[in-house]
Structure 1
Amino acid sequence: MAEDSKLEEDRISNLPDGLLNQILSLLPIKDAVATGRLSRRWRHLWKHLSVLNFSLSHFKIYEECDGTEDPTEEFRSFALLVNGVLALLRNPRAIRKFHLHCAHSHLDDKFRAYSVDTWVRSVIGPHLEELNLVLYSKEYKSAFKLPQTLFTSANLISLS
């Protein structure tokens, strides 16, 4: 019986918050948020993450779309996730690393361009060290313009 209780012991939940946040930062953001369902101890841990990795990885490059997917609706679902996470973070200005992989524009979809711009602007802060953007666009004229405040960010080490 004593052996069974040792097997059921949750050693991961007993780790310090800082270490758990490092572990959570290695997960895709959707999975990191989902860990909040594990227990009360985990419910709000993800809200203290300083490393965010948002990827619409299942997004098909425009040339690969077969017409059955709605890229606008897919992006709107993705935007709900990103907006929700950024809104619920304890301190979005304390983000150290921000990775964003998605489509920047699609035809005349201004919502998409506005969303990406808003997300990038919201994470620019005194702690931002790494910004990685992979932005797709079918239109060559719709290049993403980096905010000027990014160039005065004192701690920025990596921009790609």
Structure 2
Amino acid sequence: MSLVSPRYLHLWKDLQAFDFYFDRSIPFEKASLFVNSVLSLRKSRDIQKFHLTLTFDRYKSFDIKKFQAKCVEIWILAAIGPHLQELILSISSYCIKLPPSFFINCTNLVSLRFSGAIDMLVQDYSVHFPSLKKLSLGADIVCTPQIHYFSFSLAAPTSKLCRFTFTLTLNTYL
């Protein structure tokens, strides 16, 4: 049963903004089927906003974690392109490795937020974001040794303000 009238059911295929949120209560297999079907059935290839928040069980086998990481990489690659303006990735429970080359075509990226277990692979070149106005990196990313070698080239002639936000989260265990 659908809450959307059949007359408007096809409209989701033309969306350019996606916000996926999955936590431990949803099995990864269900989440991956849903995201894969949404991204593969859409008509417009020009995604403007892509938000992905994942929290999964950290006590999985290495093969399952590797499969999950590969799925996330594929979803990010599907979203990345010259029309992407906002990218928010919040991944916990397992580490996703993203090469800077993923972001070469993101010339219109205005807002970029990474939090959780995301590892930027160090390479010999910097990533150029000419339109970037807001950059937010979580404490897990800022505190890794690789961040010191990874340079963000922020030559943004049109922007007057660029924010660097470092969010620190304190976990208390009773």
TM range (shorter): 0.5 to 0.7
1:79 aligned onto 2:32:
yes
Large movers: runs of 4+ above 6 Å: none
Identity of aligned residues (%): 37
Partner AA of 1:129 in structure 2 = Q
Secondary structure of the structure 1 residue equivalent to 2:51? strand
Select the structure that is richer in strand.
2
TM-score (structure 2 length as normaliser): 0.55
Change (3 A) 1:147 1:78: farther
1:54 aligned onto 2:12:
no
Select the structure that is richer in helix.
1
The equivalences for 1:82-101 within 5 A come to 82-91=35-44, 93-101=45-53
Residue matched to 2:9: 43
Change (3 A) 1:154 1:145: same
Change (3 A) 1:41 1:143: closer
Which residue, 90, 102, 106 being the options, matches 1:153?
A: 106
Cα offset, 1:143, TM superposition: 4.2
Report how many residues are paired.
109
1:81-114 deviation digits (Å, cap 9, x = unpaired): 00000011102x3110000011477441221010
Q: Return the index of the structure with the highest Cα Rg.
A: 1
- Cα distance between partner residues in 2 of 1:107 and 1:159: 31
- Cα distance between partner residues in 2 of 1:114 and 1:39: 35
Residue matched to 1:114: 70
Contact 1:121 1:147 in 2 (8 A): no
Consecutive unaligned residues in structure 2, runs of 5 or more: 114-174
If asked which structure has higher relative contact order (CA below 8 Å, sep 6+), I would say 1
Cα offset, 1:146, TM superposition: 4.4
